[in-house]
Amino acid sequence: MTDHPSQTPLFTFGVIADIQYADIDDGYNYTRSHRRYYRNSLQLLSKAQRSWSESAVKPHFILQLGDIIDGFNKRDGASEKALDSVLRELSRCPVEVHHVWGNHEFYNFSRSQLLRSQLNSTPRTGSSLAGPPAPADFYAYHFSPFPGFTFVVLDAYDVSLLGREVSSEQYSNAMDRIKQYNSNEDLNCPPGVVGLETRFTMFNGGFSKDQLDWLDSVLSLADEKRERVTIVSHLPIHPNSTTPMCLAWNFDELLSIIHSHNSVVCYMAGHDHDGGYCKDEDTGVHHLTLEGVIETPPDSNAFGTVSVYKDRMVLKGNGRIRNRVFLFA
Ligand SMILES: Nc1ncnc2c1ncn2[C@@H]1O[C@H](COP(=O)(O)OP(=O)(O)O)[C@@H](O)[C@H]1O
């Protein structure tokens, strides 16, 4: 790996996904193929935090890619307590954390609770990239940690049955969309076993037209200013970076917006705990799906530190996460 050992990075940041903490015994995923270490995930977060805090070059910020606590907390009336535990652990590392929202955020909290919570990391000050803020109807924003670099947080549950009031138009629209493909009584059960249509489940969602239009305008400005843009959200959008069951419903629409701009260099997501990666050969965009902490054994870990240079980003993985170099096209 060429990691520019002699060069100082412009800035660095930490990445972590699917912590899914709950103070309960180990369990399994739905198909019982993967063990879930609910209680220990807090210890792995603690180790990640210590590694970031003690590193010679401190990360400028942390990207938390969603599912910070598990849905089982809701069942146990422990949502607030579990959230306090993970946020307390994260706050030991004195850097800004940018939170993405995943399906487990919506199992625990309503959208309005999330907007009022510490999981709403919308910056109070503007980004160096001008342009309108995102409409209040979805959770999306951009920030610029360093001149020439922009990060965009997207809401992958903007069009979803999760987090929308059953009486709302958004809920009906999401129901219409999922029912086009999924005729199961239990909408968490995917339609079929293989293929792209398996993504039409209730634990996934998509991006509204308003959000895509907003992103389009952000990327137009970024193109003009020759910014390097990294987009982060909970759901992967490239079929070669994940199993199809974890893709965003309208992944293709987001991909085509990215294709129509030249500023995007990387897209990062969580959700698929096995992780994944591909480089989109048409655009040179790197699609990284980060391995989830929740399915990581106690003697390993799943977090990364990304060093950003003028022409590349270098991911230093820990435990299950491998080192990678993302050259800018
Ligand atoms: N194949 C499936 N059939 C029916 N329900 C499923 C299936 N896969 C997952 N679920 C249910 O969907 C919900 C979300 O699944 P879960 O595995 O917890 O998501 P995540 O991978 O985000 O942790 C859970 O209630 C789970 O029981």
Question: What CATH code is carried by the domain that includes residue 91?
Answer: 3.60.21.10
Q: Ligand 1 centre from 45 Cα, in Å?
A: 23
Query: 67 in a domain, yes or no?
Result: yes
Task: Reply yes or no on whether the pLDDT at 102 is more than 70.
Answer: yes
CA 199 to chain centroid: 17
Q: Which atom of ligand 1 is nearest to the CA of 104?
A: 22
Say what the pLDDT of residue 135 is.
75
Query: 3 in a domain, yes or no?
Result: no
Query: 1 in a domain, yes or no?
Result: no
> Average model confidence (pLDDT) for the chain?
95
Query: 2 in a domain, yes or no?
Result: no
Q: How many CA atoms lie within 13 A of 262 on its CB side?
A: 5
Query: 4 in a domain, yes or no?
Result: no
Q: Ligand 1 centre from 277 Cα, in Å?
A: 22
Query: 6 in a domain, yes or no?
Result: no
Burial 213-230 (b: 16+ CB within 10 A, else e): ebbeebbebbeeeebbbb
Q: Which residue segment(s) compose the domain that 297 sits in?
A: 11-327
Q: Ligand 1 centre from 172 Cα, in Å?
A: 22
Residue list, ligand 1 pocket, CB within 6 Å: 29-30, 67, 103, 186, 188-190, 203, 271
Query: 5 in a domain, yes or no?
Result: no
**8 A C-beta contact, residue 295 and residue 315:** no
Is the pTM value of this prediction over 0.90? Answer: yes
Query: 291 in a domain, yes or no?
Result: yes
- pLDDT for 27-80, tens place per residue? 999 999 999 999 999 999 999 999 999 998 899 999 999 999 999 999 999 999
- pLDDT for 250-269, tens place per residue? 999 999 999 999 999 999 99
Beta bridge partners of 99: 64
- ipTM value for the complex: 0.97
Number of domains in the chain: 1
Q: Ligand 1 centre from 187 Cα, in Å?
A: 10
Which protein residue's CA is at the shortest distance from atom 26 of ligand 1?
A: 30
Which protein residue's CA is at the shortest distance from atom 7 of ligand 1?
A: 189
